[in-house]
Each structure stands twice: as structure tokens, then as C-alpha cells.
């Protein structure tokens, strides 16, 4: 079964504008990026929490995501 976070991640990953915007936001303010991910989820009626997003991103095997997590951990 696909989790809400996985559904949301896939939607964002397939939207190059959202993905780029979130990545740039995460570089400057990781907390804001997490909040924005949760906001996008609300807009799409896919409820997620910050902790769910962090836990899911730790399972993603993607170099850019891993770099973002390193940055996010420093700012969280």
C-alpha cells in the first residue's frame, strides 16, 4: 500500500517547477521546505506531517534527496 507521503513525493517529483522550488527553499531554509511540502499535501488533500516526510525521505535512494536531507538535518 502506498503511503500519503509516497503519493505526495511522487506528485512533487514529477512536477519540475515544484521540485526545483522546494530544493532551492531547502538549501536556504529546510524547515520552510518541510512546511511547504505539508502545505502542498493539504492543497492536494494528501495529509502528511513533517515527521512522516522526513522518515520517508530517508528511504529514498536519490542522490539529490540525500544531499537535501543532510542540509535539512543541520537546520532542523
Which pLDDT score, from 0 to 100, does residue 54 have? Answer: 83
| Cα 35 from Cα 39, distance rounded (Å) | 6
pTM of the predicted model as reported, rounded to 2 decimal places: 0.79
Which pLDDT score, from 0 to 100, does residue 26 have? Answer: 81
CA angle centred on 21, ends 17 and 24, rounded to 5°: 140
Secondary structure class of 1 (helix, strand, coil): coil
* Segments making up each domain of the chain, as ranges: 4-75
- Write out pLDDT tens, residues 9-64: 899 989 999 988 988 888 888 888 889 999 999 999 999 999 998 888 878 877 77
Amino acid at each position: 500500500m502506498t503511503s500519503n507521503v509516497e503519493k505526495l513525493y511522487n506528485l512533487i517529483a514529477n512536477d519540475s517547477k515544484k521540485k526545483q522550488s522546494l530544493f532551492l527553499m531547502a538549501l536556504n531554509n529546510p524547515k520552510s521546505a518541510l512546511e511547504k511540502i505539508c502545505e502542498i499535501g493539504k492543497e492536494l488533500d494528501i495529509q502528511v506531517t513533517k515527521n512522516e516526510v522526513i522518515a520517508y525521505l530517508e528511504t529514498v535512494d536519490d542522490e539529490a534527496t540525500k544531499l537535501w536531507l543532510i542540509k535539512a538535518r543541520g537546520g532542523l
